């Protein structure tokens, strides 16, 4: 069931959700709650994010939507020639770019925080120091990671006991992580980029022939950016500009909006066909154009210009599937959260190691598990996303936000690599066009574009739907189970007098709510009673 309340936090981990709600109860803003929750998630869900992760955020301050890009660049001295010869790795120091999530917390706090920064990290410090029970999906992901990282000593020492990963419900502590969080809290992030933590990261990189330096860390900063938007029905969908794949969602939504699917039922195979084809076009553009904006050949606004979206929409055959996207997207692990407070402010926030625990590198004595975002580059000279030093790679993690009548409407996101823009499109279609409540929309069966004509459906999708899509030329595979490979979603929707929050059962998630000192009016939103 959806949660209706004056203030809400929704995450993929119940303990983290509670941390955020406690901050709101103390009078913190949605931004304060998001920071505290994000820090807690590095502790209780290390299988998908950590202190060495990257992050992106959108924050509604009651009047305006703000964006933060807290992703890092590849080291300036990255040996590109060697990586071209040997291939871009997915583990080890060559896979690491400057971790940005800590800078994202600080940037969000400086924009919209009100409580002391040290108070926001205190709950995460307590969880790391005193321990927490490992949640079910997290325990499964942890166990699967053991083989991948078995040769990484730091990972083994931090994330196993006697060579074993934790069982469901096992109490786990992360003492090094706690000490690092305390240093970050006391210095408002400075120790991470210019102090002893930066020195520890650079020293470990140097000891293992990595390129990351103290200069790389000191020069990093989160970037304040203006979100991009396209109309969809009576709302505007907002995504962050590149280097993330938000453009894929914007293009797909803009194309779908032009095909006038509103008269179709949310489960109508024709509507699903149009969604799938629009998504292929979004992915094709993202794979071709999205990169560090300094290296892009087309500006993002050109890619979502109304006349261009008109042309893309005209490419879709309403009766037949087409091979509009040739490459199979890759899976990754991520955490997403959204928060809304009683004053009408809201945050959509996402952070990720990229693949599981990331690179496998855990900096000795710190608990800092480094992401492997350099794997997001391509080895294609001349391509905007070609690997290079001092350059941000293509990023999969994207928070989403909708506005309606120039007011906050919904903060939402879907964790899971290439499922993210696909999940955005499916939730948007059900909630905005179909009038579904967020929990019903999240619970509904999803599809996933695999590449070419290949499409996967969750096992609870109607058999008749699969048959019609097959007849239209889609190569349909029914997934063996309903799981996180189809994404893990969270959403908070603004109603007239309160917020409506929802969390995905495909993860361990939970939406929690409480009353606040008063609610701000929101846009008029009604649900379809059938959902």
**pTM of the complete model:** 0.95
Range of the domain at 302: 228-331+415-491
Q: Which of 29, 158, 334, 519 is catalytic?
A: 334
pLDDT score for 324: 83
What is the chain's pLDDT, residue by residue, as a tens digit (531 residues)?
899 999 999 999 999 999 999 999 999 999 999 999 999 999 999 999 999 999 999 999 999 999 999 999 999 999 999 999 999 999 999 999 999 999 999 999 999 999 999 999 999 999 999 999 999 999 999 999 999 999 999 999 999 999 999 999 999 999 999 999 999 999 999 999 999 999 999 999 999 999 999 999 999 999 999 999 999 999 999 999 999 999 999 999 999 999 976 678 888 999 999 999 999 999 999 999 999 999 999 999 999 999 999 999 999 999 999 998 655 556 667 899 999 999 999 999 999 999 999 999 999 999 999 999 999 999 999 999 999 999 999 999 999 999 999 999 999 999 988 999 999 999 999 999 899 999 999 999 999 999 899 999 999 999 999 999 999 999 999 999 998 899 999 999 999 999 999 999 999 989 999 986 544 545 555 555 445
Yes or no: say if 31 and 411 are a contact pair by the CB < 8 Å rule: no
Chain-centre distance of CA 368, in angstroms?
Answer: 20
Residue 435 lies in a domain: yes
- Which pair of structure tokens corresponds to residue 456? 């996967």
How far is it, in rounded angstroms, from Cα 473 to Cα 324?
Answer: 13
- CA angle at residue 441 from 437 to 442, to 5 degrees? 120
Q: Tell me if residue 515 is catalytic.
A: no
Nearest CA-CA partner of 69 in 385, 397, 358, 389: 397
Yes or no: say if 164 and 124 are a contact pair by the CB < 8 Å rule: no
How far is it, in rounded angstroms, from Cα 85 to Cα 317?
Answer: 42
Residue 265 lies in a domain: yes
- Which pair of structure tokens corresponds to residue 223? 């970037």
Residue 293 vs residues 34, 299, 393: alpha-carbon distances, Å? 27, 8, 10
Rounded to the nearest 10 degrees, the angle between the axes of helix 246-258 and helix 419-428 is: 40
Yes or no: say if 275 and 263 are a contact pair by the CB < 8 Å rule: no
Nearest CA-CA partner of 377 in 351, 352, 354: 354
How far is it, in rounded angstroms, from Cα 376 to Cα 372?
Answer: 8
Residue 408 lies in a domain: no
* Pairing, β 235-239 against β 333-340: unpaired
- Which helix (H) or strand (E) element contains residue 426? helix 419-428
Residue 17 lies in a domain: no
How far is it, in rounded angstroms, from Cα 161 to Cα 164?
Answer: 5
For the domain that residue 296 is a member of, what is the CATH number? 1.10.246.130
Count of CB atoms situated within 10 Å of the CB of 139:
20
Residue 182 lies in a domain: no
Length of the chain, in residues: 531
- Which pair of structure tokens corresponds to residue 32? 């304060």
pLDDT score for 331: 60
Residue 79 lies in a domain: no
pLDDT score for 179: 98
Nearest CA-CA partner of 184 in 265, 77, 99: 99
Residue 179 lies in a domain: no
Query: Which parts of 131-174 fold into alpha helices (H)?
Result: 136-148, 153-159
Residue 48 lies in a domain: no
Number of domains in the chain: 1
Count of CB atoms situated within 10 Å of the CB of 405:
11
- Which helix (H) or strand (E) element contains residue 450? strand 447-451
How far is it, in rounded angstroms, from Cα 424 to Cα 270?
Answer: 19
Q: Residue 484: what are its φ and ψ, rounded to 5°?
A: -70, -10
pLDDT score for 307: 97
| 276 contacts: CB under 8 Å, gap ≥ 6 | 321, 447, 449, 455, 469, 474
The strand pairing partners of 320, in sequence order, are none
Rounded to the nearest 10 degrees, the angle between the axes of helix 269-289 and helix 419-428 is: 140
């Amino acid at each position: 069931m959806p949660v209706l309340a004056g203030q809400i936090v929704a995450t993929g981990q119940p303990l983290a959700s509670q941390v955020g709600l406690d901050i709101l109860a103390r009078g913190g803003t949605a931004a304060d709650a998001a920071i505290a929750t994000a820090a807690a998630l590095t502790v209780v869900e290390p299988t998908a994010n950590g202190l060495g992760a990257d992050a992106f955020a959108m924050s509604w301050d009651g009047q305006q939507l703000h964006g933060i890009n807290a992703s890092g660049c590849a080291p300036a001295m990255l040996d590109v020639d060697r990586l071209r010869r040997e291939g871009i790795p997915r583990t080890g120091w060559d896979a690491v770019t400057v971790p940005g999530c800590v800078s994202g917390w600080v940037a969000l706090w400086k924009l919209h925080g009100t409580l002391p920064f040290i108070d926001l990290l205190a709950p995460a410090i307590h969880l790391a120091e005193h321990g927490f029970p490992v949640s079910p999906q997290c325990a499964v992901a942890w166990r699967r990671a053991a083989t991948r990282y078995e040769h990484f000593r730091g990972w083994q020492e931090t994330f196993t006991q006697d060579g074993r990963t934790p069982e469901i419900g096992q109490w786990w502590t992360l003492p090094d992580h706690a000490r690092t969080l305390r240093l970050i809290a006391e210095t408002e992030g400075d120790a991470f980029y210019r102090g002893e933590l930066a020195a520890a990261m650079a020293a470990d990189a140097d000891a293992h022939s990595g390129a990351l330096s103290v200069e790389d860390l000191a020069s990093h900063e989160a970037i304040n950016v203006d979100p991009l938007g396209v109309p969809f029905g009576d709302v505007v969908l907002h995504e962050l500009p590149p280097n993330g794949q938000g453009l894929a969602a914007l293009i797909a939504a803009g194309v779908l909006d032009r095909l006038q699917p509103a008269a179709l039922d949310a489960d109508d195979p024709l509507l699903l066909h149009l969604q799938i084809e629009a998504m292929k076009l979004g992915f094709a553009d993202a794979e071709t154009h999205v990169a560090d904006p300094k290296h892009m050949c087309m500006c993002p606004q050109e890619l979502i210009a109304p006349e261009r979206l008109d042309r893309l929409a005209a490419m879709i055959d309403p009766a037949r599937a087409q091979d509009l996207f040739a490459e199979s997207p890759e899976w990754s692990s991520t955490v997403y959260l959204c928060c809304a407070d009683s004053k009408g402010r809201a945050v959509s926030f996402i952070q990720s190691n990229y693949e599981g625990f990331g690179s496998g590198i855990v900096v000795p004595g710190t608990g800092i598990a480094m992401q492997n975002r350099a794997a997001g580059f391509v080895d294609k000279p001349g391509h905007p996303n070609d690997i290079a030093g001092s350059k941000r790679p293509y990023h999969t993690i994207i928070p989403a936000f909708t506005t309606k009548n120039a007011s906050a409407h919904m903060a939402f996101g879907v964790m899971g690599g290439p499922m993210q823009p696909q999940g955005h499109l499916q939730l948007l279609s059900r909630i905005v066009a179909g009038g579904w409540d967020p929990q019903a929309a999240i619970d509904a069966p999803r599809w996933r574009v695999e590449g070419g004509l290949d499409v996967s459906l969750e096992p609870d999708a109607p058999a008749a739907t699969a048959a019609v899509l097959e007849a239209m030329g889609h190569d349909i595979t029914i997934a063996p189970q309903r799981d996180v490979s189809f994404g893990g979603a969270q959403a908070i929707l603004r109603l007239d007098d309160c917020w409506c929050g929802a969390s995905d059962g495909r993860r361990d998630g939970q939406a929690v709510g409480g009353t606040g000192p008063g609610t701000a009016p929101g846009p008029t939103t009604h649900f379809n009673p059938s959902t």
